[in-house]
Chain A
Amino acid sequence: MCKKLIITVFLPLFIVFISNTYSVAQDARAIVKEGFNYMRGKSSFSVVDMTIHRPNWERKMTIEAWTKGLKNSLFRIIAPAKDKDNGTLKRGREMWMYNPKINRVIKLPPSMMSQAWMGSDFSNNDLSKTDTLIDEYIHTITGTQTHDGKKVYLIKSIPKPDAPVVWGMQKLKIREDYVFLAQEFYDEDFKLVKVMTTLQIRMLGGKMFPKIWRMQKAETTDEYTELNYKKLSFKKNLKDSLFTISNLKNPRR
């Protein structure tokens, strides 16, 4: 009993003492990873309104999304009618797009990965490489804040020297219950390029979840893309057969 206590309480403390920075980095990574797991769940189904706002115009579409872990996801547009059934499938790092008007599935070549997804402020890379944030960066906790009475970790993520990522730095704000509050993308001069912020954190699908996600370019205030969750439910497991090209083309639900 006594021995166990020593191991469980003192050993971690000891490790913290001998290698403070290392363990902090590990902690930060754990927080980021847990945060991702929390937000994505094991599997999820959601209906999201996406608003693309530009100085001269605004476009709205409604998207159904299924996700499974960090690897697999399927998006399908259900409104407006003009864009209905356009879909995107992501498996691992690869992405396919389906356009019902030409009845074709296109595997996204490298050349299109950095283009905007559906004309939004999200690039295809933002969708396909979300998990690189966990492994290709070194995370450190730089401070804490409070938000709604909860502790918020400020995490600075610097890419590993040879990581194939374009950002010079990312800054994350993750609440202690793993709700993402903000993700800031910096270039190599550490100048802000774009920011994703979340708003209206409430109970959604059985857990605290931000209803609104907004991706905004740093230089302008009237160019942004907003995701508004209409429906969200976390599932234990979704069938793998959902994330296939045939399902991308012919929705079986």
Chain B
Amino acid sequence: MYFQLAWRNIWRNPRRTAVIMTAIIIGVWSMIFLNALMRGMESDMIKNSISTLTGHLQIHHKDYRNDPVIENSMYDTKALETALNKVLPPGAHRAARIRVNAIAGNARHTSGITLVGINPVPEAKTSFIGHAINQGRYLKPEDKYGVIVGQALLVKFETKIGRKLVLMSQDTDGNIASRAFRIIGTFKAEMQATEKQFAFVTITAARQMLKLEKGISEVSITLPDNIDADHVTTRLKAELGTDGYQIQTWRELLPIINAYLVIFDGFIFIWSFVVFIAMGFGIVNTTLMAVFERMREFGLLKALGMKPWWIIRDVLSESFLLLVMGMTIGNIMALLCVFALSGSGIDLSAFAAGAEFAGISKIIYPAVYAKDVLISNFVVIILGLLVSIYPAAKAARFTPVEALAQT
């Protein structure tokens, strides 16, 4: 009965209903759509940074992160192997690397880079490099003098594939080690900074150059989607001990990214809050107007014996119907927008240089999470009903005499 009454009441003044519904629709739409954009940006950022050699977790010598030099390598690779074999779930990939700062030079240019010695086969499964080669070829395990550099570095150095690149770094004796490599391929990365930073050689070549007989700088591990990195980290810590090793998840390895995620979450919250305040005042205002307009009606209802509580229920039911209709349309619109953008994404490449520092991709694909949609809707309906209580209570408090005295 209430719903029928409320439904009919809503359509007694279609213009007012349309105005209030527009407010709700825009609110819900912007909440869901902007959330989706943020989440898209976020998930791209995480994916990028995890595949850019980070992995879900990493194992280092305990001093390596403070001082990434060749002396802080892990030498007991056997113990590492056993621990990893024991702990890692099936479907996880791992790659051992040597990673030091180095200088790349040719006849005309020099530049600081990060020299990464990799095992080509497991590396291809773990990080982006396996599928990022755009010219030439990928490293083979037996390549002793082959190096892969980023496309941007190749351009910057005015060189091409097949040309020599001299890499210099400090070896285990503390002397300057240099070795001539030939560029055998280039990789493309999401960000130019990545392309200019990394030069990949085989781990054997890196060891020869740096006079490191065995030992590795880091192990990077990627986990299947359903496995929690923190859980694996705890088990690895128990297995390896924390005396000689530092085992960290990507959240600890990439504090900036982590901070961004927190900021994004805060931003989403603030945005929802702002949208809701605007919407809430709209709802209160319109409902209040509607209530005052219908003063005589409420007075009559009361005179006929309707209890104040029933009047509150009636007004709240009207708000509820408005909210549900507005939310349905808002959701549909938001999902349509997301769907329309999911093909091409929002192309930010014009501003790429500015956005790059934070690891934001050139193209943003919105990502809808059920959690976000539910929370937005839930917040709108609960708070929407809460603010409608005020006009409803106002309506319930009219006395029949006063109300009927109004003309």
Contacts and interface: CB of A to CB of B under 8 A. Distances in A.
Interface of A: 93-94, 109-111, 113-115, 159, 162-168, 185-188, 193
B176 A94 contact: yes
Contact of B112 (A111, A159, A168): A111
Contacts of A185: 107
B166 A110 contact: no
Nearest to A163: B180
Interface size class of B (residues with CB under 8 A): 20 to 34
Interface stretch (B167-175, B191-199, B325-333): B167-175
Contacts of A159: 180
B84 interface: no
Given A93-B175, A164-B180, A188 B166 contact: no
Contact of B107 (A110, A163, A166): A166
B7 interface: no
A188 B169 CA distance: 22
Contacts, number: 58
Nearest to B158: A187
B166 A164 contact: yes
Given A115-B110, A188-B164, 5 more contacts: A110-B103, A111-B103, A113-B168, A113-B176, A164-B178
A216 B170 CA distance: 30
Nearest to A132: B178
B107 A186 contact: yes
B107 A93 contact: no
B176 A110 contact: yes
Interface of B: 101-103, 105-108, 110, 112, 145, 159, 163-164, 166, 168-170, 175-180
Given A110-B169, A188-B163, A193-B108, A162 B178 contact: no
A64 to B, nearest CB: 26
A140 to B, nearest CB: 20
B276 to A, nearest CB: 54
A114 B110 contact: yes
Given A187-B106, A188-B107, A93 B166 contact: no
A106 B166 CA distance: 24
A165 B179 CA distance: 8
Given A110-B176, A110-B178, A188-B164, A166 B106 contact: yes
Contacts of B106: 166, 187-188
Given A163-B180, A188-B163, A193-B107, A109 B170 contact: yes
Q: Which 5 pairs of residues, A with B, have the shortest CB-CB distance?
A: A187-B107, A164-B178, A114-B110, A110-B168, A164-B180
Contacts of B163: 188
Nearest to A160: B180
Contacts of B107: 166-168, 185-188, 193
30 contacts: A93-B176, A109-B170, A110-B103, A110-B169, A110-B170, A110-B176, A110-B177, A110-B178, A111-B101, A111-B112, A113-B103, A114-B103, A114-B105, A114-B110, A114-B168, A115-B110, A162-B145, A162-B179, A163-B180, A164-B166, A164-B178, A165-B166, A165-B180, A166-B105, A166-B106, A166-B107, A166-B164, A166-B166, A185-B107, A188-B163
